[in-house]
Chains A and B, each alone.
Chain A
Amino acid sequence: MSGMLERSEVIAMLATYGDREPGQVPETIDSLELAWLIHQVEQRYGVLDIGDEALARMSTVTGALDVFRALRIGSSDA
């Protein structure tokens, strides 16, 4: 898992929307936050190819992390 996106990184990226503290980021991710998160990840790792079903699973921080890890986002061999 070395190099893969960590939960704290996902929360930190979500927290940049609306200038929140990481502790203010809820577990659920709404559609605006999802667009924000995808953009933050794309800026860092390039444009993502994520289908509708995978996006639908990204309604929580845990779900988003699962999808990013399945795509090996952040891994050097991604």
Chain B
Amino acid sequence: MVSLSAKETGDADPVDSGWVDEVLLGGPEDDVCLHLGAPVTRGELRKLVAGCRQDLADAGLRRGGTVALCLPPSLAFITSLLASWQVGAQASLLDHRLTAFEVDVALQRLAPQVVVTAASAGGGPLRGFSEVAGRVDRYPGKAAATSHAVIQLSSGSTGPSKVIGRDAASLIEEVKRYTLIDGIPRGGERIVSLASMVHVLGLVGGLLYSLHAGVNLTIPARTTADGILSTVAASDQPTTLLGVPFHIELLASVLEPPRLPQLTGMTTGGELVRPDVYDMFTERYGVRLGNMYGMTEAGVLATDLFGRHRPSLTPAPGITFREQDGELHFALPASPYLGEQDPRRWSDGWLHTRDAGTVDPRTGLIRVLGRRDSQVSVGGLKVDLTEVEHTLAALPEVAGVVVVCDHAIEAYLVLAEGCELPAVERQIATRLAPYKRPRRLHLVEQLPRTATGKLVRSHAALRDADPDPSPAPPAAGADGAR
């Protein structure tokens, strides 16, 4: 066991660690708090977290230290995260779908002292969770420079990813915010979560809130329609489904769903589904269908859990919105961004959401009208088209590129002289996580430009530039199923 020297522990106030036991892990020993293939009681979870804490300590993790978790949704992820916080360390969450190249870049930027990865491949496509053990390794990183408990990377609108930090107080505040929202399941009930627990909806709205409120958090083994509905049917506990808009569409398309008297509603984050899909879901299941609006930077911000105000939303308790030049801002006392600050993202106590929207001066309801930048949602995961475009543009085989999204991400490419498409496909497969990869690559002789030389990004103009509108063969391994 090697302990860190005083010099390595940095100057930041260490992350307060007492909140994990107080806010999340308290409760009766035999209370089933999680169900990932098998029930996990609070007593069992506390023991697992204690064991994990020892492993992290053996790797040298200390109060004020840093750890990066690159694990699929799993009990190993949950215990590693809670153990890291119990230690008083700062945990960075890396999506397990990132490529090795992307993970390397992220680790170099975040500089954690310890990295936890999956000891073996234990998942598969459509698995709601993986049965993997955590592998703990040292990494030549630095102690925490801030008191944030969790660090997440978000696809940035320009250049590299944004680094977003939240301290324990912010997480606790969000968990408590959930307790004040009508329609959120209460103690003794169950959440069947389809939302990724490394992202804010599944992490705080699913995992942390459930642990705090005494809600049983259940993850389906398979995220097919049959797998989801079978999981709901497997318990008599009042059950809420938590997911992303795709899951509404999937479940709404079930022609004859089973009778599910325990199902009390479904809540999703992200964009609204089409009215016909909304109607089909509520008719087929006879339960409420609600929507939440939130951001990695602060979690849940506004809700319409009973579909009463659709398409508008009520600001969550304690959240204040303003409309500034057609953009939604919300009050946030400190910038959540690490590193260089951008006043276009946060200024004077206001977080600029980059979402176009309105605030009704009479009712206070907000309406979200879509992104003002190049961020798109792929199955609930945020992808910035600029990041994809920059990655492709940086390849030596690419002379020019425009990335757009209609139904799917597509790239229009001009190849460098003497270069061929398969080389580009191989590079894409190593540099971009599957969900970020263009689903179609169109080879063009030149990209359309305006009279002043600016690249044209209209789909119609790009399609006109493509001599063969049928798609080029797919990039190797370009699938989102991993």
Q: Report if A28 contacts B (CB, 8 A).
A: yes
Question: When the two chains form the complex, which single residue of A27, A29, A53 contacts B473, counting CB atoms closer than 8 Å?
Answer: A27
Expressed in whole angstroms, the Cα–Cα distance for A27 and B480 within the complex equals: 13
- Near A by CB (< 8 A), chain B positions 103-125 give 123-125
Bound state CA distance, A24 and B253, in angstroms?
A: 20
* B226 near A26: Cβ-Cβ < 8 Å: no
Of B226, B255, B475, B481, which is within 8 A of A47 by CB? B226
Q: Are B379 and A32 in contact (CB under 8 A)?
A: yes
In the bound complex, residues from chain B placing their C-beta under 8 Å from that of A47 are 226
Q: Which residue of A lies closest to B256 (CB)?
A: A43
Tell me the chain A residues, 13-68 only, with Cβ under 8 Å from chain B: 16-18, 20, 24, 26-36, 38-40, 42-43, 47, 52-53, 55-56, 58-60
Interface size for A (C-beta < 8 A) is: 29
Bound state CA distance, A31 and B250, in angstroms? 12
- Complex-state Cα separation, A53 to B455, whole angstroms: 43
- Name the contact of B224 in the complex, choosing from A27, A42, A60 (C-beta under 8 A): A42
Q: How far is the CA of A38 from the CA of B224 in the complex (A)?
A: 7
> B439 touching A30 by the CB < 8 A rule?
yes
| B: number of interface residues (CB 8 Å) | 33
Contact B249 A17 (CB under 8 A): yes
Q: Contact: A43 with B255, CB < 8 Å?
A: yes
With A36-B250, A39-B225, A42-B225 known as contacts, the answer to whether A31 contacts B482 (CB < 8 A) is yes
Assuming the contacts A27-B473, A30-B434, asked whether A56 and B480 have C-beta atoms less than 8 A apart, the reply is no
Are B471 and A29 within 8 A (Cβ)? no
By a CB distance below 8 angstroms, the chain B residues around A36 are 250, 253
A18 to B478: give the CA distance in the assembly, Å: 19
Cβ contact within 8 Å between A56 and B124: yes
B451-482 residues with Cβ-Cβ distance < 8 A to A are 471, 473-475, 477-482
B481 touching A27 by the CB < 8 A rule?
Answer: no
CB-defined A-B contacts under 8 Å, sample of 27: A24-B407, A26-B474, A27-B474, A29-B479, A30-B379, A30-B435, A30-B439, A30-B480, A31-B434, A31-B482, A32-B480, A35-B126, A35-B225, A35-B246, A38-B126, A38-B224, A39-B225, A39-B253, A43-B254, A43-B255, A52-B123, A55-B124, A55-B125, A58-B125, A59-B479, A60-B474, A60-B479
